Amino acid sequence: MNATLGYLSILAAVVGALGITVRGFIAMRDPERANKGYLGLPVILFVSGAVGAMFFLELGLLTDDFSIKYIANNSSTTTPFLFKVASGWASLEGSIVLWGLVLAGFTFAVYARFFRSESGDRLAAGALAIMGLISLYFFGLMATISDPFARCVQTFSDGVGCVTGENAILANVISSPIEGRGANALLQNHWLMALHPPTLYVGYVGLSVPFAFAISALLLKTTGAAWLTRTRNWTVFAWMFLTAGIVLGGLWSYEVLGWGGYWAWDPVENASFMPWLVATAFLHSSVVQARRGMLQSWNFVLVITTFALTILGTFLTRSGVIVSVHSFSQSAIGPALLIFLVVVLLGSLGLFASRAHTIASSPRLDSLSSREGVFLFNNLLLTVFAFMVLTGTLYPLFVEAFSDSTVGVGRPFFDRMAIPLSFLLLLAMGIGPVSPYRAASARVVWERIRWPVRVALGAAALAVVFGYRNSFLLLGVLAAVFVMGVIIRNLYDAARTRADKLGIGRRQAAARIMRGDPHYWGGQISHLGVAILALGIAFSANLSETATVTIDAGDTVNFAGFEVTYEQEFSRQEPGRFVTGADITVTRDGSVVGTYQPRLNQYGNTRESIATPEVDTMFSGDLYLSLRSIDPSSVTLEVYWFPFIWLIWVGGFLAAAAGVWGFAVKKPERSVARDDTRV
Amino acid sequence: MSDSIRKIAAAVVTIGLAVVVVIGLIQGDRTDEDRARSIGSRVKCPVCQGVAIADSPSETARAMMDVVEERIADGWSDRQIIDYFAERYTDSIVIDPPFSGNTLLVWLLPILAVVAGFFMIFSRRKTPVPKPDEVKQ
């Protein structure tokens, strides 16, 4: 029942997406047709289909409908409610259903905008057509090679789970499993995993909106700034979610994986980081186009690249190519995504090339030392950063594919490249926002960064005096404090001037200034978040302490100024897992800091146990206890001390949330939009 | 206090602070523990997915880290220890690609991208005589 209705929903979405594509293109060519009703029907059909697909998948999960293969292999009767829901996107087929649902949400949002705009909005009609095409592809996948509602034709002898593909020898034996194989153990271990993928997907898929508008603009040969200014809020919205999604992923691996790491330059992480870098470059360069009419072609390139990178990311994480190029052929979705990627790239870059003559040649740079100049530098750094990550991620695959040898490219490579790039980015972040447009004299810029430079030097000198000699820490403090100083001085100075002029309080003046230019100040708050994050990385990466300790029951060991005592072992049965753990008491100078229960969880469907570390966040840092092995008489723990690591999460979420300021705050008075481009 | 004295004082303070920071930077120290971590971060854990032995809690990685610490105590150089692992497993276990051979390109490509990018930016500077079609509308 669920399977039939779910599959029918997918078919409805396919028809709806086809309708949006066809009617969208017709409406794009014919302004008379570009009205509300013409596109309404297919949009409604498409959205209902996408919602229906997710609904019936979730319904099947919650009612333990093991006649569906996906559910039999990704859930079980004992899976807790939250993780049953999350299983809807935990595995390949389900994740594409979620992708489709988010895409439907954005399609509906674009349609709602189109519905409210005046008749004859050909740009939005064309954008809807492009979104329809993308939707057609993803729902086409669901209807064919990645069917989430495929029925289970054969179960194992114990009736648990569903036999897949290559193992189905007795394909004529039809029987339905009596129990599911359960959710992925790593997924079930922490509630963050329920949050991280949807957040990331909203970011990923949201970036298809500016892409769709860009392609529509190219098709219509209206290559001015309209597509860009109209999609600005969507870009910021998607960027916020992408940022938050990446930070959530880092927080998840920190809380779950048990080695205290939050970022490993793992290909899956890189896959989400690359579009973030290019989308960030795009956010910045779109300001240059909006303000100065420059970089029009470049913005097309960036938005196309961003979208292509989201598809590449999906391909890398979903095709199995990462484990080895040789596992690539085993999944049907890999080649399908690769073909889509090639079509997107060839199609959009070909279109871009054929429309190049219609793109107004932009005014040239007056001077490299100007706000535009720093923006260009920022774009260079961010795109090179993305290119470096791309090279490092794909290089081993290419070597393996084209020669007999294998090579490894990992963290040391990425760190060595990323650290100097990040320092330069922080530097640009400090200087850029206070550099005037057109031409910035060194004197004006120095005047504005003088105090922040001194404060930053003072902070770093203080660290030296306190005995810190780690160069990355010192440079990190220098750069991060500099950026924070510039932002604070900038606001303080402006508020003082405004307050004196209008005779109002400085706080009131500051609030007015920040409301008066929400895009600029939203960006500044975001920069503040990035600087805080950088500080968190500098502290936790360079001053962390770690030890492996074995403690006999009742004994105490010293670690980083703490006394760690092993009290006793405990174990209990929880829904879906068996938990073994240690009661640990930690004191400092005799007073109790806390009692902790680092655990090992044994899930029914996996042999290896998965640790749940205990993390205690204090002001000066995190005490992190991870259980390695335990028996009643002794326990072996990994203990870590990460100074100020919470700054990473605070900074990261602040950077993401700052986007709200950029589009939710209404300007008090309407300013005349400057549009230096021809439309 | 006259303006010029204040300026000079500010400059002296700024330079003074900078000198302290530079001294701190030059004095960077490196303990055996740092060395072990740095070597461990350059060798992949053979039983994990894309994580270095310094970052993995698995038994295999722990045992390999112990080997690293023993070798450091025995006076081996970083290079010798890494080569030892590359020989025992495969070259791909070293995730710090050397700046030579078939991993030279992975270093060169991003560097080339920087050079190309700078070239593009500099070529975008205003030419003395603007072309006619660049007149703003």
The pLDDT tens digits for A559-571 are 989 999 999 999 9
More confident position, A301 or B62: A301
Q: Name the residue facing A461 among B10, B17, B93 (closest C-beta).
A: B17
Instruction: Give just the sign of the alpha carbon dihedral A419, A420, A421, A426.
Output: positive
Q: From CA B33, how far away is CA A176, in angstroms rounded?
A: 56
Q: Are residues B108 and B82 in the same domain?
A: no
pLDDT of residue A671: 41
Q: Are residues B39 and B78 in the same domain?
A: yes
CA-nearest residue to A388 within chain B is B110
Contact A264 B55 (CB under 8 A): yes
Contact A464 B124 (CB under 8 A): no
More confident position, A491 or B92: A491
The SS3 call for residue A630 is strand
**Beta strand pairing status for A545-552 and A634-643?**
antiparallel
* Distance between first and last Cα of chain B: 53
Contact B95 A412 (CB under 8 A): yes
The radius of gyration computed from the CA coordinates of chain B, to the nearest angstrom, equals 26
- pLDDT at position A679 over 50: no
Q: Name the minimum distance, in Å, from the CA of B5 to any CA of chain A.
A: 17
Q: Are residues B90 and B102 in the same domain?
A: no
Neighbours of A672 (CB within 10 A): 5
Residue B135 token pair: 């007149």
Q: From CA A290, how far away is CA A671, in angstroms rounded?
A: 13
Residue with tokens 């919602």: A51
Q: Name the residue facing A361 among B50, B110, B133 (closest C-beta).
A: B133
Q: Of chain B residues 54-113, which have a CB less than 8 A from chain A?
A: 55-57, 62, 90-97, 102-103, 105-107, 109-110, 113
Instruction: List chain B residues with CB under 8 Å of A407.
Output: 91-92, 97, 102-103
A321-340 average pLDDT score? 72
Instruction: List chain A residues with CB under 8 Å of B109.
Output: 387-388, 391
Instruction: List chain B residues with CB under 8 Å of A368.
Output: 121-122, 125
Interface test with B, best of A255, A391, A443, A677 (most B CBs within 10 A): A391
Q: Name the residue facing A365 among B27, B52, B126 (closest C-beta).
A: B126
- pLDDT at position A592 over 70: yes
Contact A364 B121 (CB under 8 A): no
pLDDT of residue A386: 96
- pLDDT at position A397 over 80: yes
CA-nearest residue to B53 within chain A is A259
Contact B95 A410 (CB under 8 A): yes
pLDDT confidence tier of residue A23, bands split at 50, 70 and 90: very high
Q: Are residues B36 and B86 in the same domain?
A: yes
Q: From CA A177, how far away is CA A70, in angstroms rounded?
A: 12
DSSP conformational letter for B134: G
With contact defined as beta carbons under 8 Å apart, do B48 and B93 qualify? no
More confident position, A331 or A132: A132
Q: Are residues B64 and B44 in the same domain?
A: yes
* Range in A283-292, A425-434, A484-493, B124-133 the model is least confident about: B124-133
Range of the domain at B62: 28-94
Does the residue B115 lie in any domain? yes
Say which amino acid occupies B40: G
Does the residue B21 lie in any domain? no
Q: From CA A39, how far away is CA A45, in angstroms rounded?
A: 10
CA-nearest residue to A542 within chain B is B34
Q: Is A132 exposed, middle or buried, given 0-12, 13-18 or 19+ CB atoms closer than 10 A?
A: buried
DSSP letter for each residue of A295-353:
-HHHHHHHHHHHHHHHHHHHHHHHSSTTT-GGGGGG-SHHHHHHHHHHHHHHHHHHHHH
Half-sphere exposure (CA, 13 Å, Cβ side) for A496?
6
Q: Are residues B105 and B54 in the same domain?
A: no
pLDDT of residue A605: 61
Interface test with A, best of B20, B21, B107, B111 (most A CBs within 10 A): B21
Does the residue B66 lie in any domain? yes
pLDDT of residue A552: 92
Instruction: List chain A residues with CB under 8 Å of B126.
Output: 364-367
Residue with tokens 């495929």: A150
Neighbours of A561 (CB within 10 A): 9
Q: Are residues B49 and B88 in the same domain?
A: yes
pLDDT confidence tier of residue B10, bands split at 50, 70 and 90: confident
Does the residue B78 lie in any domain? yes
Q: Name the minimum distance, in Å, from the CA of B134 to any CA of chain A.
A: 6
- pLDDT at position A92 over 90: no
Nearest in space to A150 (alpha carbons), one of A286, A306, A332: A332
CATH (domain of B60) = 1.10.8.640
Contact A410 B127 (CB under 8 A): no
Neighbours of B117 (CB within 10 A): 18
Q: How confident is the model over B18-41, as pLDDT tens digits?
A: 888 787 777 665 677 778 888 888
Q: Name the residue facing B42 among A387, A412, A457 (closest C-beta).
A: A412
Instruction: List chain A residues with CB under 8 Å of B10.
Output: 450, 454
pLDDT confidence tier of residue A117, bands split at 50, 70 and 90: confident
What is the interface size between A and B, counted as CB pairs within 8 Å? 161
Contact A469 B21 (CB under 8 A): no
Q: Are residues B82 and B120 in the same domain?
A: no
A182-209 average pLDDT score? 85
Does the residue B75 lie in any domain? yes
With contact defined as beta carbons under 8 Å apart, do A203 and A245 qualify? yes
Q: Name the residue facing B95 among A391, A411, A464 (closest C-beta).
A: A411
Contact A453 B14 (CB under 8 A): yes
Q: From CA A580, how far away is CA A633, in angstroms rounded?
A: 14
Contact B21 A474 (CB under 8 A): yes
Say which amino acid occupies B16: G
- pLDDT at position A101 over 90: yes
The answer to ipTM > 0.85 is: no
A27-55 average pLDDT score? 88
Q: Name the residue facing B23 among A399, A406, A464 (closest C-beta).
A: A464
Does the residue B54 lie in any domain? yes
Residue A3 token pair: 């399977």
With contact defined as beta carbons under 8 Å apart, do B72 and B32 qualify? yes
Does the residue B130 lie in any domain? no
Instruction: List chain B residues with CB under 8 Å of A266.
Output: 49-51
Q: Are residues B37 and B89 in the same domain?
A: yes
Q: For chain A, how are helix, strand and coil distributed in percent, rounded to 5?
A: 65, 10, 25
Triad A80, A83, A86: Cα angle to 5°: 155
> What's the mean per-residue pLDDT of chain A?
87
B24 and chain A in contact, CB less than 8 A: yes
pLDDT of residue B55: 79
Q: Name the residue facing A461 among B20, B107, B109 (closest C-beta).
A: B20
Largest separation between any pair of C-alpha atoms in chain A: 86
pTM of the model: 0.90
pLDDT of residue A322: 67
Q: From CA A377, how far away is CA A374, in angstroms rounded?
A: 5
Q: Are residues B105 and B56 in the same domain?
A: no
Q: Name the minimum distance, in Å, from the CA of B22 to any CA of chain A.
A: 9
Q: How confident is the model over A523-539, as pLDDT tens digits?
A: 999 999 999 999 999 99
Sheet order of strands, A621-631 included: A545-552, A634-643, A621-631, A614-618
With contact defined as beta carbons under 8 Å apart, do A149 and A68 qualify? yes
Q: What residues pair up with A638 in beta bridges, in sequence order?
A: A548, A626
Q: Name the minimum distance, in Å, from the CA of A368 to any CA of chain B.
A: 7
The radius of gyration computed from the CA coordinates of chain A, to the nearest angstrom, equals 27
pLDDT confidence tier of residue A264, bands split at 50, 70 and 90: confident
Contact A411 B114 (CB under 8 A): no
* Distance between first and last Cα of chain A: 53
Instruction: List chain B residues with CB under 8 Å of A458.
Output: 17
Looking at the 3D structure of chain B, how many domains does it have? 2
With contact defined as beta carbons under 8 Å apart, do A583 and A637 qualify? no
Does the residue B79 lie in any domain? yes
Instruction: List chain B residues with CB under 8 Å of A454.
Output: 10, 13-14, 17
A190-211 average pLDDT score? 90
Q: Are residues B39 and B68 in the same domain?
A: yes
Instruction: List chain A residues with CB under 8 Å of B17.
Output: 454, 457-458, 460-461
Q: Are residues B89 and B108 in the same domain?
A: no
pLDDT confidence tier of residue A130, bands split at 50, 70 and 90: very high
